[in-house]
Amino acid sequence: MKPSNQPTIPSSPSPTLILGTAMWGWTTPRAACFELLDDFYRHGFREVDGATNYPINKRPEDFRKAENILLEWIKAHEIKDLKVMMKVGSINNMRTPENNLSKSFLLMLLDEYRNLFGSNLDTFMIHWDNRAAEAEIRESLEALARARELGVRAGLSGIKHPEAYAQLNKEFGFNFRIQFKHNILQSDYPRYKPFHGKAGFITYGINAGGIKLDPKEYGRGSSLMARGGKTEEEPAIARPLKAILGKATRAEGRPGVSSFNHCGMTFAYHSPDVTGILLGASTSKQLKDSLEFFSALKTYNYRDLYERLKELHEKQAGKV
């Protein structure tokens, strides 16, 4: 029971949770993916994020492996009420910028994913677009307009020139869902300024690629290790973050904050325009921890922690 002296968060809509699949079939084996989906679904959550090129592990034989695991689970349980968002355009999983965002290719993928996911397909997203030419972008938006006609929401992710999309959107009028990297170390939110207050933003990378505050916490399936990051040393952000956590933990009447993941979720939850938070959990234990802390974020006021994290973020970004 919540103590009477603990202020609650205002009753404005809170961000939703979205289960990420970027590491499925790579550091997260099929059996673990099924467990994650079982747990996520059982707790009442329905949104799952995918992309044609997941996992991006530079193994051509694994191209589209993550979506196939998701489809296998859907078929096994005869699921019809997921809200799957698919990011499309990339033509390989080699971590290259190569893509195909032509209208014809996008319409082909739209038909394919509608056939594969059926009623579970919720959002169709343009992925990794480095173009600035408005004529080319307009054709891609025409494909998204067709998706909208079919009841599928439009989205953007990894867009190099948001201003071009914003200009053209005066013509199309999309209520975009925008995925953007957003964590204590780095955020792409400023780059999407033309859409501030005009789109629903979904954070990814809240753990900055899988950072742990203590090197001993890294397991054999660490996503940071898989991506070539350093796991043997304490990250530079650890000391100032632990100082902040010490103050947050001492706050009365609310669950303590004990990990980089908790900090990332808090930072995302209270950030402007955020309507969804992508979780990159790779085990049921990690997911359970995230779901429990998400419940705490909805119940208690962590705004003070957010303000401290925001200040630290601005220092990291060189803004102050």
Q: Domain residue spans in the chain?
A: 16-232+272-282
Look up residue 192 and give its DSSP letter. Answer: G
Query: What pLDDT, on a 0 to 100 scale, did the predictor assign at position 50?
Result: 98
pLDDT at 208: 87
Q: What is the pLDDT of residue 318?
A: 74
Q: Name the strand (E) or helix (H) holding 17.
A: strand 16-19
Residue 2 has pLDDT above 50, yes or no: no
Which pLDDT value is given to residue 128?
Answer: 95
196: amino acid identity, one letter: H
- What is the pLDDT at residue 250? 63
Mean pLDDT of 254-269: 94
pLDDT-based confidence at residue 283 (cuts at 50, 70, 90): very high
**300 close to 2: Cβ distance less than 8 angstroms:** yes
pLDDT (tens digit, 9 = 90+) per residue, 64-91? Answer: 999 999 999 999 999 999 999 999 999 9
Query: Could you give the dihedral angle defined by the CA atoms of residues 61, 32, 185 and 228, in that order, rounded to the nearest 10 degrees?
Result: -40
Q: Please list, in sequence order, all residues whose beta carbon lies within 8 angstroms of the beta carbon of residue 315, skipping any fewer than 6 positions away.
A: none
pLDDT of residue 251: 66
Q: Is the torsion defined by CA of 266, 267, 268, 274 positive or negative?
A: positive
Domain range 16-232+272-282, its CATH number among 3.60.20.10, 3.30.1370.60, 3.10.129.10, 3.20.20.100: 3.20.20.100
pLDDT of 107 above 60: yes
User: What single DSSP character describes residue 24?
Assistant: B
Separation between Cα atoms, residue 293 and residue 300, nearest integer Å: 10
- Assess whether pLDDT exceeds 50 at residue 232: yes
- pLDDT tens figures, 299-320: 999 999 999 999 999 998 875 4
Model pLDDT, residue 213: 81
pLDDT of residue 8: 38
* Radius of gyration of the chain, Cα coordinates, nearest whole angstrom: 20
Is 50 exceeded by the pLDDT of residue 154? yes
Of the listed ranges 2-11, 51-60, 209-218, the least confidently predicted one is: 2-11
Range scoring the smallest mean pLDDT among 10-24, 194-208, 283-297, 302-316: 10-24
Q: What is the mean pLDDT of residues 229-255?
A: 78
